[in-house]
Amino acid sequence: MTDKIPNIAVVGSLNADLTAYVETLPQPGQTIMSHDFVVYPGGKGANQAVAAAKLGAKVTMFGCLGSDSYSGMLRESLENVGVLTSNLVTIEDSPTGAAIILVEDSSENEIVVIPGANARFSPDVLEKVHIEKIEQADALLLQLEIPLESVAKAAQIAHKAGVPVILNPAPVCELPIEFLQHVDILVPNQTELKKLQENGLPLEKLFTLGIKMILETRGASGVWVHTQDASRHVEAVKVNAIDTVGAGDTFVAAFAVAYCSGTDLLDAVRFANQAAAFTTTRKGAQSSFPNSEELAEIGVNLP
Protein backbone atom coordinates (compact mmCIF):
# COMPACT_ATOMS: atom_id res chain seq x y z
CA MET A 1 0.00 0.00 0.00
CA THR A 2 1.23 3.49 -0.88
CA ASP A 3 2.26 5.94 1.85
CA LYS A 4 1.16 8.98 -0.16
CA ILE A 5 -1.86 10.86 1.22
CA PRO A 6 -3.73 12.37 -1.75
CA ASN A 7 -4.82 15.99 -1.48
CA ILE A 8 -8.20 16.30 -3.22
CA ALA A 9 -10.39 19.36 -3.83
CA VAL A 10 -14.10 18.96 -4.54
CA VAL A 11 -16.26 21.70 -6.04
CA GLY A 12 -19.90 20.74 -6.09
CA SER A 13 -23.29 20.23 -4.50
CA LEU A 14 -24.56 19.49 -1.02
CA ASN A 15 -28.06 18.05 -0.61
CA ALA A 16 -30.28 16.61 2.06
CA ASP A 17 -31.42 13.24 0.65
CA LEU A 18 -35.07 12.65 1.57
CA THR A 19 -35.15 8.91 0.95
CA ALA A 20 -38.22 6.68 0.83
CA TYR A 21 -37.88 2.90 0.52
CA VAL A 22 -40.60 1.18 -1.52
CA GLU A 23 -41.42 -2.31 -2.75
CA THR A 24 -41.55 -1.13 -6.38
CA LEU A 25 -41.07 2.27 -8.03
CA PRO A 26 -44.39 3.97 -8.92
CA GLN A 27 -45.84 4.19 -12.41
CA PRO A 28 -47.04 7.59 -13.71
CA GLY A 29 -50.15 8.63 -11.76
CA GLN A 30 -49.76 5.83 -9.21
CA THR A 31 -49.76 6.36 -5.44
CA ILE A 32 -47.72 3.85 -3.44
CA MET A 33 -46.80 3.33 0.22
CA SER A 34 -43.26 3.54 1.60
CA HIS A 35 -42.05 1.10 4.25
CA ASP A 36 -39.20 3.34 5.48
CA PHE A 37 -38.13 6.97 5.27
CA VAL A 38 -34.76 8.51 6.23
CA VAL A 39 -33.08 11.88 5.67
CA TYR A 40 -29.42 11.36 4.75
CA PRO A 41 -26.63 13.86 3.99
CA GLY A 42 -25.95 13.79 0.25
CA GLY A 43 -25.31 15.75 -2.94
CA LYS A 44 -22.84 14.48 -5.52
CA GLY A 45 -20.12 16.91 -4.48
CA ALA A 46 -20.41 16.24 -0.77
CA ASN A 47 -20.74 12.50 -1.41
CA GLN A 48 -17.47 12.41 -3.30
CA ALA A 49 -15.74 14.50 -0.65
CA VAL A 50 -16.89 12.21 2.16
CA ALA A 51 -16.05 9.04 0.23
CA ALA A 52 -12.52 10.27 -0.53
CA ALA A 53 -11.92 11.36 3.06
CA LYS A 54 -13.09 8.01 4.44
CA LEU A 55 -10.54 6.33 2.18
CA GLY A 56 -7.70 8.38 3.65
CA ALA A 57 -7.46 11.46 1.45
CA LYS A 58 -7.05 15.04 2.65
CA VAL A 59 -10.15 16.72 1.22
CA THR A 60 -11.31 20.32 0.83
CA MET A 61 -14.97 20.94 -0.07
CA PHE A 62 -16.24 24.00 -1.96
CA GLY A 63 -19.98 24.56 -2.09
CA CYS A 64 -23.05 26.47 -0.92
CA LEU A 65 -25.48 25.73 1.91
CA GLY A 66 -28.77 27.35 2.85
CA SER A 67 -29.65 28.79 6.24
CA ASP A 68 -32.03 25.99 7.30
CA SER A 69 -31.64 23.01 9.62
CA TYR A 70 -30.32 20.72 6.86
CA SER A 71 -27.16 22.82 6.50
CA GLY A 72 -25.88 21.81 9.93
CA MET A 73 -26.39 18.11 9.16
CA LEU A 74 -24.46 18.39 5.91
CA ARG A 75 -21.58 20.37 7.39
CA GLU A 76 -21.33 17.96 10.32
CA SER A 77 -21.24 14.93 8.03
CA LEU A 78 -18.25 16.39 6.19
CA GLU A 79 -16.40 17.47 9.32
CA ASN A 80 -16.93 14.12 11.04
CA VAL A 81 -14.67 12.46 8.44
CA GLY A 82 -12.12 15.28 8.36
CA VAL A 83 -13.22 17.22 5.27
CA LEU A 84 -12.11 20.87 5.41
CA THR A 85 -15.32 22.97 5.32
CA SER A 86 -14.00 26.54 5.65
CA ASN A 87 -14.79 27.10 1.95
CA LEU A 88 -18.50 26.36 2.32
CA VAL A 89 -20.59 29.49 1.78
CA THR A 90 -23.95 30.04 3.48
CA ILE A 91 -26.66 31.63 1.30
CA GLU A 92 -28.94 33.31 3.84
CA ASP A 93 -32.07 33.66 1.68
CA SER A 94 -32.01 30.18 0.15
CA PRO A 95 -32.88 26.66 1.34
CA THR A 96 -30.21 24.00 1.37
CA GLY A 97 -30.27 21.76 -1.69
CA ALA A 98 -32.33 18.59 -1.42
CA ALA A 99 -33.05 15.39 -3.31
CA ILE A 100 -36.21 13.31 -3.22
CA ILE A 101 -35.13 9.70 -3.64
CA LEU A 102 -37.21 6.56 -4.09
CA VAL A 103 -35.38 3.27 -3.59
CA GLU A 104 -37.17 0.05 -4.48
CA ASP A 105 -36.41 -3.27 -2.82
CA SER A 106 -34.50 -4.46 -5.90
CA SER A 107 -32.02 -1.55 -5.17
CA GLU A 108 -33.03 0.53 -8.21
CA ASN A 109 -33.81 4.18 -7.57
CA GLU A 110 -35.35 7.37 -8.91
CA ILE A 111 -34.03 10.80 -7.88
CA VAL A 112 -35.37 14.34 -8.19
CA VAL A 113 -32.89 17.08 -7.23
CA ILE A 114 -34.01 20.45 -5.83
CA PRO A 115 -30.96 22.72 -6.28
CA GLY A 116 -31.65 25.27 -3.54
CA ALA A 117 -28.42 27.00 -2.47
CA ASN A 118 -26.44 24.95 -4.98
CA ALA A 119 -27.94 27.05 -7.77
CA ARG A 120 -26.44 30.15 -6.14
CA PHE A 121 -22.85 28.89 -6.41
CA SER A 122 -21.83 31.45 -9.02
CA PRO A 123 -18.32 32.14 -10.38
CA ASP A 124 -18.32 35.23 -8.16
CA VAL A 125 -18.75 33.03 -5.10
CA LEU A 126 -15.90 30.80 -6.24
CA GLU A 127 -13.60 33.81 -6.59
CA LYS A 128 -14.25 34.79 -2.95
CA VAL A 129 -13.08 31.51 -1.41
CA HIS A 130 -9.56 30.10 -1.07
CA ILE A 131 -8.94 28.88 -4.62
CA GLU A 132 -5.31 28.15 -3.70
CA LYS A 133 -6.69 24.94 -2.16
CA ILE A 134 -7.67 23.95 -5.70
CA GLU A 135 -4.33 25.02 -7.15
CA GLN A 136 -2.42 22.97 -4.54
CA ALA A 137 -4.48 19.78 -4.89
CA ASP A 138 -3.45 16.49 -6.46
CA ALA A 139 -6.83 16.37 -8.23
CA LEU A 140 -10.05 18.34 -8.56
CA LEU A 141 -13.36 16.47 -8.55
CA LEU A 142 -16.30 18.07 -10.38
CA GLN A 143 -19.93 17.19 -11.10
CA LEU A 144 -22.83 19.13 -12.66
CA GLU A 145 -25.26 19.85 -9.81
CA ILE A 146 -24.09 23.47 -9.49
CA PRO A 147 -24.14 26.13 -12.27
CA LEU A 148 -22.11 25.01 -15.27
CA GLU A 149 -20.21 28.29 -15.48
CA SER A 150 -18.89 27.73 -11.94
CA VAL A 151 -17.85 24.16 -12.74
CA ALA A 152 -16.04 25.45 -15.83
CA LYS A 153 -14.35 28.20 -13.79
CA ALA A 154 -13.08 25.68 -11.25
CA ALA A 155 -11.76 23.44 -14.05
CA GLN A 156 -9.98 26.41 -15.59
CA ILE A 157 -8.31 27.29 -12.27
CA ALA A 158 -7.12 23.71 -11.76
CA HIS A 159 -5.99 23.25 -15.37
CA LYS A 160 -3.95 26.46 -15.28
CA ALA A 161 -2.22 25.21 -12.11
CA GLY A 162 -1.49 21.78 -13.64
CA VAL A 163 -3.97 19.99 -11.36
CA PRO A 164 -5.73 16.98 -12.97
CA VAL A 165 -9.47 17.58 -13.39
CA ILE A 166 -11.82 14.62 -12.94
CA LEU A 167 -15.36 15.29 -14.19
CA ASN A 168 -18.40 13.18 -13.36
CA PRO A 169 -20.86 14.62 -15.95
CA ALA A 170 -24.02 14.13 -13.92
CA PRO A 171 -26.69 15.22 -14.41
CA VAL A 172 -25.59 15.20 -18.03
CA CYS A 173 -26.11 18.30 -20.18
CA GLU A 174 -24.59 19.90 -23.25
CA LEU A 175 -20.99 20.74 -22.38
CA PRO A 176 -18.97 23.56 -24.00
CA ILE A 177 -15.81 22.57 -25.85
CA GLU A 178 -13.82 25.19 -23.91
CA PHE A 179 -14.81 23.51 -20.65
CA LEU A 180 -13.94 19.99 -21.79
CA GLN A 181 -10.50 21.19 -22.87
CA HIS A 182 -9.75 21.67 -19.16
CA VAL A 183 -10.84 18.12 -18.21
CA ASP A 184 -8.31 15.28 -17.89
CA ILE A 185 -10.47 12.33 -16.81
CA LEU A 186 -14.16 11.86 -17.63
CA VAL A 187 -16.27 9.46 -15.54
CA PRO A 188 -19.76 9.09 -17.09
CA ASN A 189 -22.13 6.18 -16.77
CA GLN A 190 -23.32 4.44 -19.92
CA THR A 191 -26.37 6.69 -20.30
CA GLU A 192 -24.37 9.88 -19.80
CA LEU A 193 -21.73 8.86 -22.31
CA LYS A 194 -24.43 8.05 -24.87
CA LYS A 195 -25.96 11.48 -24.32
CA LEU A 196 -22.60 13.18 -24.86
CA GLN A 197 -22.17 11.23 -28.08
CA GLU A 198 -25.64 12.30 -29.23
CA ASN A 199 -24.52 15.89 -28.58
CA GLY A 200 -21.67 15.50 -31.06
CA LEU A 201 -18.96 14.26 -28.71
CA PRO A 202 -17.86 10.74 -29.70
CA LEU A 203 -14.87 9.22 -27.95
CA GLU A 204 -12.49 10.28 -30.71
CA LYS A 205 -13.44 13.94 -30.37
CA LEU A 206 -13.26 13.86 -26.58
CA PHE A 207 -9.68 12.63 -26.84
CA THR A 208 -8.74 15.34 -29.33
CA LEU A 209 -9.89 17.92 -26.77
CA GLY A 210 -7.22 16.72 -24.34
CA ILE A 211 -9.17 14.24 -22.22
CA LYS A 212 -6.72 11.47 -21.35
CA MET A 213 -9.12 8.74 -20.27
CA ILE A 214 -12.84 7.99 -20.04
CA LEU A 215 -14.13 5.62 -17.37
CA GLU A 216 -17.57 4.44 -18.50
CA THR A 217 -19.36 2.90 -15.54
CA ARG A 218 -22.06 0.31 -16.22
CA GLY A 219 -23.13 -0.82 -12.76
CA ALA A 220 -23.33 -4.59 -12.54
CA SER A 221 -21.77 -4.84 -16.02
CA GLY A 222 -18.48 -3.33 -14.84
CA VAL A 223 -16.45 -0.46 -16.25
CA TRP A 224 -15.07 0.26 -19.70
CA VAL A 225 -11.75 2.10 -19.57
CA HIS A 226 -11.29 4.08 -22.77
CA THR A 227 -7.97 5.64 -23.76
CA GLN A 228 -6.71 6.77 -27.14
CA ASP A 229 -4.87 3.48 -27.51
CA ALA A 230 -7.53 0.99 -26.46
CA SER A 231 -10.76 0.22 -24.63
CA ARG A 232 -10.49 -2.31 -21.81
CA HIS A 233 -13.16 -3.89 -19.64
CA VAL A 234 -12.97 -4.29 -15.86
CA GLU A 235 -15.46 -6.73 -14.36
CA ALA A 236 -17.92 -5.60 -11.69
CA VAL A 237 -17.82 -7.00 -8.17
CA LYS A 238 -20.76 -9.27 -7.36
CA VAL A 239 -22.54 -8.35 -4.11
CA ASN A 240 -26.03 -8.50 -2.63
CA ALA A 241 -27.01 -4.91 -3.45
CA ILE A 242 -29.81 -3.27 -1.43
CA ASP A 243 -29.32 0.44 -2.28
CA THR A 244 -27.31 1.81 -5.22
CA VAL A 245 -27.60 5.50 -4.20
CA GLY A 246 -24.10 6.97 -3.95
CA ALA A 247 -22.30 4.05 -5.59
CA GLY A 248 -21.26 6.17 -8.56
CA ASP A 249 -19.90 8.86 -6.25
CA THR A 250 -17.95 6.26 -4.31
CA PHE A 251 -16.45 5.00 -7.55
CA VAL A 252 -15.29 8.47 -8.58
CA ALA A 253 -13.80 9.24 -5.17
CA ALA A 254 -12.12 5.85 -4.72
CA PHE A 255 -10.62 6.04 -8.19
CA ALA A 256 -9.28 9.53 -7.48
CA VAL A 257 -7.73 8.42 -4.19
CA ALA A 258 -6.08 5.38 -5.76
CA TYR A 259 -4.93 7.12 -8.93
CA CYS A 260 -3.52 10.13 -7.06
CA SER A 261 -1.65 7.71 -4.81
CA GLY A 262 0.26 6.46 -7.84
CA THR A 263 -1.75 3.30 -8.44
CA ASP A 264 -1.81 1.84 -11.97
CA LEU A 265 -4.91 2.85 -13.99
CA LEU A 266 -6.61 -0.56 -14.13
CA ASP A 267 -5.78 -1.34 -10.50
CA ALA A 268 -7.26 2.02 -9.51
CA VAL A 269 -10.45 1.13 -11.39
CA ARG A 270 -10.60 -2.28 -9.69
CA PHE A 271 -10.18 -0.64 -6.27
CA ALA A 272 -12.95 1.85 -7.13
CA ASN A 273 -15.21 -1.04 -8.22
CA GLN A 274 -14.68 -2.76 -4.87
CA ALA A 275 -15.48 0.39 -2.90
CA ALA A 276 -18.58 1.14 -4.99
CA ALA A 277 -19.85 -2.43 -4.64
CA PHE A 278 -19.42 -2.26 -0.86
CA THR A 279 -21.53 0.92 -0.83
CA THR A 280 -24.51 -0.86 -2.42
CA THR A 281 -24.72 -3.34 0.46
CA ARG A 282 -25.82 -0.63 2.92
CA LYS A 283 -28.59 1.97 2.90
CA GLY A 284 -28.05 5.65 2.18
CA ALA A 285 -25.29 7.56 0.46
CA GLN A 286 -22.61 8.93 2.80
CA SER A 287 -23.68 6.58 5.58
CA SER A 288 -22.91 3.62 3.32
CA PHE A 289 -19.44 4.66 2.16
CA PRO A 290 -16.64 2.35 3.35
CA ASN A 291 -13.48 3.46 5.09
CA SER A 292 -10.11 1.85 4.44
CA GLU A 293 -10.38 -0.43 7.48
CA GLU A 294 -13.74 -1.83 6.39
CA LEU A 295 -12.38 -2.61 2.94
CA ALA A 296 -9.28 -4.18 4.43
CA GLU A 297 -11.49 -6.52 6.46
CA ILE A 298 -12.82 -8.01 3.21
CA GLY A 299 -9.37 -8.18 1.67
CA VAL A 300 -9.49 -4.97 -0.34
CA ASN A 301 -6.51 -2.66 0.07
CA LEU A 302 -5.24 0.33 -1.86
CA PRO A 303 -2.72 -1.17 -4.33
Confidence at residue 1, expressed as pLDDT on a 0 to 100 scale: 47
Confidence at residue 244, expressed as pLDDT on a 0 to 100 scale: 86
Cα distances (angstroms) measured from residue 33 to each of 23, 30, 264: 8, 10, 47
Q: In what order do the strands lie in the sheet with 185-186?
A: 88-90, 58-65, 7-11, 139-142, 165-167, 185-186, 213-217, 223-226, 231-234
Asked if 184 contacts 160 with a C-beta cutoff of 8 angstroms, the reply is no
Give the SS3 label for residue 231: strand
Name the region of 246 (left: φ>0; alpha: ψ -120 to 50; beta: rest). left
pLDDT tens digits, one per residue of 82-140: 999 999 999 999 999 999 999 999 888 898 989 999 999 999 999 889 999 999 999 99
Confidence at residue 51, expressed as pLDDT on a 0 to 100 scale: 98
Prediction pTM value: 0.94
Local confidence band at 2 (pLDDT 50, 70, 90 cut-offs):
low
Q: In what order do the strands lie in the sheet with 34-42?
A: 34-42, 15-22, 97-104, 109-114
Exactly one of 124, 138, 249, 264 is catalytic; name it: 249
Confidence at residue 291, expressed as pLDDT on a 0 to 100 scale: 95
Type of residue numbered 228: Q
Specify whether 3 is catalytic.
no
Q: Where are the beta strands (DSSP E) in 56-118?
A: 58-65, 88-90, 97-104, 109-114
Asked if 45 contacts 145 with a C-beta cutoff of 8 angstroms, the reply is yes
Average pLDDT of every residue of the chain: 95
- The residues facing 272 across adjacent strands are none
Give the SS3 label for residue 211: coil
Q: Where are the beta strands (DSSP E) in 133-197?
A: 139-142, 165-167, 185-186
Q: Which residue has the higher pLDDT, 223 or 303?
A: 223
pLDDT tens digits, one per residue of 171-207: 999 999 999 999 999 999 999 999 999 999 999 999 9
pLDDT tens digits, one per residue of 7-52: 999 999 999 999 999 999 999 999 999 999 999 999 999 999 999 9
Confidence at residue 285, expressed as pLDDT on a 0 to 100 scale: 83
Give the right CATH number for 7-14+43-95+118-297 from 3.60.21.10, 3.40.50.300, 3.90.1150.10, 3.40.1190.20: 3.40.1190.20
